[in-house]
Amino acid sequence: MIYKIKPQILVLAIVQGIAFQPNDTPVPSGYIKDIGQAYNDTRGFGWVREDSLGNSTPTPLDIQLNTRDRNQSGIDGRLNRLIHLQYPLSSSGTAVKIPAAWEYALSKGSYNVTVSVGDASNTVNSKHQINIEGTAAISGFVPTATRKFAAVTRIVNVIDGKLTIDARGGKNTKLNYIAIAPGNRPSIRTTNPNDGQTNLSPDISITADLNLPNSGIAVNTISASTIKLIDCSTNTQVNATYNTSGGGDVIVVSPINRLKNNTKYLLQITDGVQDSNGAAFLPYSISFTTGTFVNPVSNITFEQISLANVPAKSYTTVLIGPDNKLYAATLLGEILRFPINADGTLGIPQTISSLQTANGGNRTIIGMHFDPSSTNASNLILWVTNNYYWNGTIDAPEWSGKITRLSGTNLEIVKDYVVDLPRSSRDHLTNSIEFKANEPNVLYVLQGSNNSTGAPNTAWSNRLEQLLTAAVLRVDLSKIISPPLSVKTEDGGTYNPFNPGAPVTIFASGIRNGYDLVWHTNGQLYVPTNGSAAGGNTPNTPIPLPLACQNRIDKATNGAYTTPSVPGLSSLGTQRDFLFRIVKNGYYGHPNPKHCEWVLGGGNPTAGTDPVQINEYPIGTLPDRNWKGIAFDFGEHFSPNGIIEYRSNALGGQLQGKLLVTRFSLGKDIIVLTPGGANLDIVNSQTAISGFTGFNPSPLDLVENPMNGNLYVAQLSQETGMGKITLLRPLN
């Protein structure tokens, strides 16, 4: 009998799968079956009473009556079968109604553990909760008619010789299967869509969050040969693009063309995908089915114009100068200056390499803005943020960000003004810059975070947050008397942004990684921000509180910090992408111990659904006292980056005053947001506008020519490192 095989011997060599099912149903290939028998040492796995888990020897419990086979056609056998962990007390069905937990004998060590919950029938009256070794893996999953299942893989440490899984906090939780594998292998944590999901829009992209025990993903291993999206109706591979995030902690698969209506697809991620240490991913697959595409109705139309004179470069940002030319910066630190023709197309560019020359090599430019005093071609003054160029191999040095002034007819005069800005190991950088209309000597600068969610984690090289990271910085150029100014705050640096008269100060904090920002004519500062992929950690509130708690940015209004006190969290789920409306001295949810800010997002204050709730926090965890909330929720993995306020009255003024935001990962498009209401948050969003979709490579930044409403979109491919610029012309 297969039950006599020691499970810990199997799991150390290969993936061990356990399917929960009635005894008389077929066992899926590669799995052994669990039919609900009570735990015993001979078998090495089985069921115990949930309320006995705290005992030295949990009480065995037989729940064979709780297995079910739904026998639905077209459903994976693993998903067709289940076992009830919490059979409803009010139900009249034949079952064991004592809540049960599952144990599996394992040697001490680290393991990838996959769990799937759900019910293939139309019974969706569950709130599924799965805890692995006491840590929530699936939190409060409520199924729908089209999304019946949820699966997740977590890396857990077994320290007592048994893997324990329970459903505390759930309601009528139903377990389909479990798989166990060595914990030193990177793996897929979860996907969107879920396995077995139906009626999906055919214009979707697929995302996979990752478990990364060693390092970030090796970008050069994600391709059509290692990741396959299969059309099951023809058994052919779908043409798609493949990319990841700045931390290399997510996979995004975007079909080049819209998927077919009402068609089943299979996604396969092979062990050809590796992390940057060369460790192969555990193979993974899901299936999903599309619905019928609904064409959106809009009378806003732009035409996309390819620009023949734009060479393939790694474009990061675009800007129209006071000389009416288009400036485009690159990852390498070049600036290309294009004449703009009468029809909006671009002429032959001039390449300006003065920044590279001054630094003796490449410098990645993200932010670029002309000085308000620079009003014509004879008085060019351009401010740029520039960073150590990261080639994707070794970690980038930490204190390597700069703000630099370029001037002269050909921007040939290079002068660093701010140096030693912090930098992450990958591509959270000193990002975009912006002037405010009534402050001609002040730059507002986005400084990215050093890690995922406030505490060190593997994907981001275990780098700590610093005093100036994850923030909007305010740089008063008039106070920098003898540039360059070093703002190094640690590791031998002594700069303190809280000193009276400091030129560089913290305007707002808790902004994880905002790529771009815009001061709107309504007086508000808007910042689209990339949320973390799965796997992040958060800091705990130490006792006693550090000195930083006596000097928070909200001290003037709220005094010294005392509460809330929160536990640290590990291996969190995916965090959503948000648009923030930034106010001075506000906090926006990314913890930073150097700021005495500990709570991620909105905490988890009540048993209900709270704004920006972090499910992993205990109920009752209050948000930071200075938490300002969000203006708009983009969702997961959209990577909103470039942002502008559309100024032109083209198209009858339909877009005038609205925000246009590029979405780099999911979407690969431009979303239109309408500010309004008492707080000037977002009151309406619009996607699928003709001409604003289907960008390949992905759109990163954009700029408007307010004279005619033309848009120029900088695009960048993570696969090739190259990009292009596309002209969008409004069609009346």
In this structure, are residues 637 and 193 in contact, taking their beta carbons and an 8 Å threshold?
Answer: no
Residue 124 has a pLDDT of 66
Q: What is the DSSP string of 19-72?
A: EE--TTSPPPTTEEEE-SPBP-TTTSEEEEEGGGTTSSSPPB---GGGEEE---
Residue 12 has a pLDDT of 33
Going 262 to 263 to 269 to 272, the CA torsion angle's sign is negative
Q: How far apart are CA 477 and CA 439, in angstroms?
A: 10
Q: How far apart are CA 364 and CA 24, in angstroms?
A: 62
Would you state the structure tokens that stand for residue 391, as one six-digit string? 């080639």
Residue 298 has a pLDDT of 80
Q: What is the DSSP string of 539-584?
A: PPPPSSPPGGGGS-TTHHHH-S----------S--PPPEEEEEE-T
What are the extents of the domains in the chain? 1-183, 302-537+572-588+628-730
Longest dimension (CA), the chain: 86
Residue 223 has a pLDDT of 94
For tokens 């390092």, name the residue. Answer: 215
Strand ranges of the sheet holding 504-509, from the earlier edge strand across to the other edge: 430-436, 439-447, 471-476, 504-509
Q: How far apart are CA 565 and CA 150, in angstroms?
A: 32
* Assigned CATH class of 1-183: mainly beta
Residue 10 has a pLDDT of 32
Q: Which candidate, 61, 129, 65, places its Cα nearest to that of 91?
A: 65
Give pTM, 2 decimals.
0.89
Tell me the fold of 302-537+572-588+628-730.
Neuraminidase (2.120.10)
Q: How far apart are CA 362 and CA 356, in angstroms?
A: 5
Residue 215 has a pLDDT of 87
Residue 15 has a pLDDT of 62
CA dihedral 359, 364, 365, 366 (to 10 degrees): -150
Residue 374 has a pLDDT of 98
State the pairing for strand pair 518-519/525-529. Answer: antiparallel
Contacts (Cβ under 8 Å, ≥6 apart) of 604: 610, 613, 614, 615, 616, 617, 618, 619, 620, 621
In this structure, are residues 367 and 517 in contact, taking their beta carbons and an 8 Å threshold?
Answer: no
Residue 412 has a pLDDT of 99
Residues of the chain with pLDDT under 50: 1-14
